[in-house]
Amino acid sequence: MEAHPIHFKPADRIADFKPYFFATLNLRIKELKAKNIDVIRLDMGSPDMPPADFIVDTLVSSARKDNTHGYAEAGGIPAFRKAAADYYQRRFGVSFDPQKEVLGLIGSKEGLFNLCQSILNPGDIALIPDPAYPVYEAGVKIAGASIYRLPLLEKNDFLPDLDLIPGDILQKAKILFINYPNNPTGAPASLSFFEKVVEFGRRHHILIAHDAPYVDTCYDGYNAPSIMQVEGAREVAIEFNSLAKSYNMGGWRLGMAVGNADVLKYLYTYKSQLDNSHFTPIMEAGVTALTGDQDWLEERNGIYQQRRNIVLKGLREVGFTAKTPPATIYVWARLPEGENDSVAFCNRMLEEIAVSTTPGAIYGEHGEGYLRISLGTPTPRVDEAMQRVVNWLKQ
């Protein structure tokens, strides 16, 4: 008897979702490489350099211990929470209670997504920048809440204009996502901007979720601030940070959230149903990263800065316009005149010269007309990629 396949439908809340952009891109690049095409990837924001040796040494030595392989404490081992608090004290001059105001995460992406599930109800509105890291939108939609988009325009230095949000939206808004230094635009934000955001959150009783994984990838003497430096910020805000970008630990999936104790408690409760914290040796290595020698980061940032300058020079030579980002590992560039479809443009670039970049449109409506280039590729390959782009567009 012939068996017929059984088809199961997805849950309504994910039925309209498409695979994450980079998952689809990875498949296409795999196909090209199978044809011996030399693809240079300037798309995904994944650091190509390893952490400092002393961080890896801690991981190895901890993993060799007999007592580090069981389930770890949910929300992070006490030493990791304390290290995160010590980092904030050293880096920003802000003190936190490690047990109440710090929460360990399996990467900040997980925390951002799970925050939505912990705080939003159907009928609530989330204020999301556009363009923005896609996880904000995904988290809100799966929580059943609605989205109101805040345009990040070049004329406003890619900062949202909170004064333009209608009153009826503010009445239902429960959370505001911001992200500085910004992905994808590379734009910075000042402490005065954060002060306005904190006052906005207090006035409208809106939680501020600040995504801050790029505060330690800075150039030209720039020193990115934290929203937590603003007086009263911990009353209306939580900040997400990640060791992925700061310490080249992308695949280690280790991050933290700090700030409002009540909100962190909700997030902890949700996570306690979902995961069993992280592998202890990874968290112990995180302690070493956060509290150990920080001097190696200056050399690392110098390498990123060199790559940034190579990218900017090449792009500007062939008609792109781009501001010089003082932080992040990205360059956000407006397409040359006459090019308006970022997806089509990036696809042509991939197919014709085997250089992979990220179309701005995947970050939102106001990302259209731009592309994002990641600096997480060895410098000689970045240089070769830009030579390909220049030769391609000069034909």
Domain ranges in the chain are 12-50+296-393, 53-291
Alpha carbon distance 210, 241 (integer Å): 9
Out of 3.20.20.450, 1.10.3720.10, 3.40.30.10, 3.40.640.10, select the CATH number for domain 53-291: 3.40.640.10
What per-residue confidence (pLDDT) applies to 254? 97
pLDDT tens digits, one per residue of 202-242: 999 999 999 999 999 999 999 999 999 999 999 999 999 99
Residue-wise DSSP of 98-159: TTTSEEEESSHHHHHHHHHHHH--TT-EEEEEES--THHHHHHHHHT-EEEEEE--GGGTT-
Alpha carbon distance 159, 372 (integer Å): 18
Phi and psi at residue 348, in whole multiples of 5°? -65, -40
What per-residue confidence (pLDDT) applies to 7? 84
What per-residue confidence (pLDDT) applies to 349? 96
What per-residue confidence (pLDDT) applies to 269? 96
Alpha carbon distance 215, 245 (integer Å): 9
Q: Which residues contact 27 (CB under 8 A, 6 or more apart)?
A: none
Q: Which residues contact 103 (CB under 8 A, 6 or more apart)?
A: 75, 76, 81, 111, 256, 257, 258, 264, 267, 268, 271
Alpha carbon distance 116, 96 (integer Å): 23
pTM: 0.95
Amino acid at 177: F
Amino acid at 120: L
Phi and psi at residue 253, in whole multiples of 5°? 55, 65
* DSSP 8-state assignment for residue 44: S
* DSSP 8-state assignment for residue 95: -
Q: Are 271 and 235 in contact (CB under 8 A)?
A: no
What per-residue confidence (pLDDT) applies to 1? 58
Q: Give the start-end residues of each E strand in the chain.
A: 40-41, 102-105, 125-130, 146-151, 173-178, 207-211, 237-242, 255-259, 330-334, 355-356, 358-359, 370-374
Q: Which residues contact 325 (CB under 8 A, 6 or more apart)?
A: 181, 185, 186, 187, 219, 308, 331, 332
What per-residue confidence (pLDDT) applies to 104? 97
What per-residue confidence (pLDDT) applies to 212? 98
Which stretches of the chain score pLDDT less than 50?
Answer: none
List the CATH code of the domain at 12-50+296-393: 3.90.1150.10
* Crossing angle between the packed helical segments 21-34 and 342-353, to the nearest 10 degrees: 20
What per-residue confidence (pLDDT) applies to 2? 67
* Crossing angle between the packed helical segments 280-291 and 78-92, to the nearest 10 degrees: 20
Alpha carbon distance 163, 343 (integer Å): 32
If we measure between CA atoms, which residue out of 181, 237, 209 comes closest to residue 45?
181
Alpha carbon distance 254, 108 (integer Å): 7
Note if the bond before 160 is cis, omega within 30 degrees: no
Amino acid at 50: P
Q: Which residues contact 207 (CB under 8 A, 6 or more apart)?
A: 119, 174, 175, 176, 201, 236, 237, 238, 260, 263
Which residue(s) pair with 238 in the sheet? 209, 259
* DSSP 8-state assignment for residue 329: S
Which residue(s) pair with 358 in the sheet? 372
Distances in Å between the alpha carbon of 116 and those of 113, 326, 327, 389? Answer: 6, 30, 27, 40
